[in-house]
């Protein structure tokens, strides 16, 4: 079993199943209640495909649009209704993945930031677990290190197409994050001393939800998928979206 000390999980050497390291599923941004309706089935398939033993939720598990510091849409639900729906949408995730370490993140922390902005001391506030009605096995942390890989939400990561390379050099450690919805993928970086990676695991939001209408004309659309790290090696699993993922047709015959 993994031993958790503060935010550190001891590297596994030989488990009862013979694994040398953890088999991690990294759930990218969901923004409940605006998560993609097929995301949970997709996550279950990836969990089984890789025989996962450790689940990390990368954060932004709830949207909190009504508590935004930016423009709030008048046609969106109230803060109370949004929280109620988010908890309903989280319920099947709680049942499917009862043991999860959740990364603290900018959207989920909005109630705290609104309260602190209004001068309310933290003593008056509820924990994430309490206001999201999460099960005992869901625990929040700013970040977590497993087998020397740093998992975090990604507010300190670099965005854009070249962001993953900038992040791995910035942290001087292998990193897995989400938070940047528009890009996903893995960048490796090697020196004489080490070989490290950064994986941006994208998001699993519903891009058509009103909460994301602000980005509807952006050229780069949300990149849907999940991250997996098996024995210290990262894999990005793009979410199958029918014809949305286009593949090149074969344009020439193979000559024998």
For position 60 contacting Fe ion by CB under 5 A, the verdict is yes
Q: Which residues of 170-206 are buried (b: 16+ CB within 10 A; e: fewer)?
A: ebeebbbbbbbbbbbbbbebeeeeeebbbbbbbbbbb
For position 29 contacting Fe ion by CB under 5 A, the verdict is yes
Q: Least distance in Å: CB of 186 to Fe ion? A: 19
Task: Let me know: does 28 contact 204? Beta carbons within 8 Å.
Answer: yes
User: Which residue number, 32 or 179, has a Cβ lying nearer to Fe ion?
Assistant: 179
Q: Least distance in Å: CB of 68 to Fe ion? A: 12
Task: Let me know: does 116 contact 122? Beta carbons within 8 Å.
Answer: yes
How many residues touch Fe ion (CB under 5 A)?
A: 4
Q: Least distance in Å: CB of 192 to Fe ion? A: 35
Q: Least distance in Å: CB of 67 to Fe ion? A: 14
Q: Least distance in Å: CB of 87 to Fe ion? A: 18
- Half-sphere exposure of 80 toward its Cβ, with a 13 Å CA cutoff? 0
Q: Which helix (H) or strand (E) holds 54?
A: strand 54-57
Binding window for Fe ion (CB under 5 A); candidates: 71-79, 127-135, 171-179, 191-199: 171-179
Task: Let me know: does 24 contact 146? Beta carbons within 8 Å.
Answer: yes
For position 179 contacting Fe ion by CB under 5 A, the verdict is yes
Within a 10 A sphere around the Cβ of 143, how many other Cβ atoms? 20
Residue nearest Fe ion, CB atom distance: 60
Residues 99-118 that bind Fe ion (CB under 5 A): 106
For position 65 contacting Fe ion by CB under 5 A, the verdict is no
User: Which residue number, 171 or 188, has a Cβ lying nearer to Fe ion?
Assistant: 171
Q: Least distance in Å: CB of 102 to Fe ion? A: 13
Instruction: Calculate ∠ Cα 76-100-22, nearest 5°.
Output: 135
User: Which residue number, 23 or 179, has a Cβ lying nearer to Fe ion?
Assistant: 179
CB neighbour class for 151 (10 Å; exposed up to 12, middle 13-18, buried from 19) = buried
Site string for Fe ion, 125-164 (x = CB under 5 A): ----------------------------------------
User: Which residue number, 201 or 228, has a Cβ lying nearer to Fe ion?
Assistant: 201
Closest CA to 109 of 70, 67, 78: 67
Residue ranges binding Fe ion (CB under 5 A): 29, 60, 106, 179
């Amino acid at each position: 079993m993994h031993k958790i000390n503060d935010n550190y999980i001891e590297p596994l050497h030989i488990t009862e199943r013979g694994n040398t390291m953890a088999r991690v599923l990294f759930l990218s941004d969901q923004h409940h209640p605006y998560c993609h309706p097929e995301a949970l089935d997709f996550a279950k398939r990836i969990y089984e495909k890789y025989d996962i033993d450790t689940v990390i939720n990368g954060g932004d598990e709830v949207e909190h649009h009504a508590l935004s510091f930016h423009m709030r849409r008048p046609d969106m639900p109230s803060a109370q209704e949004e929280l109620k729906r988010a908890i309903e949408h989280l319920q099947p995730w709680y049942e499917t993945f009862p043991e999860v370490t959740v990364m603290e993140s900018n959207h989920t922390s909005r109630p705290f930031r609104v309260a602190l902005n209004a001068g309310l001391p933290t003593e008056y506030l509820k924990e994430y677990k309490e206001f999201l009605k999460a099960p005992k096995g869901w625990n929040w942390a700013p970040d977590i290190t497993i087998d020397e890989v740093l998992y975090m939400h990604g507010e300190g990561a670099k965005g854009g197409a070249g962001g993953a390379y900038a992040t791995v050099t910035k942290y001087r450690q292998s990193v897995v994050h989400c938070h940047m919805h528009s890009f996903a993928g893995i960048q490796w970086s090697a020196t004489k001393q080490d070989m490290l990676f950064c994986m941006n695991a994208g998001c699993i939001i519903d891009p058509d939800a009103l909460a994301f209408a602000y980005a509807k004309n952006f050229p780069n659309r949300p990149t849907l998928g999940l991250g997996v790290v098996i024995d210290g090696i990262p894999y990005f699993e793009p979410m199958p979206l029918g014809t949305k993922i286009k593949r090149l047709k074969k344009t020439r015959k193979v000559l024998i």
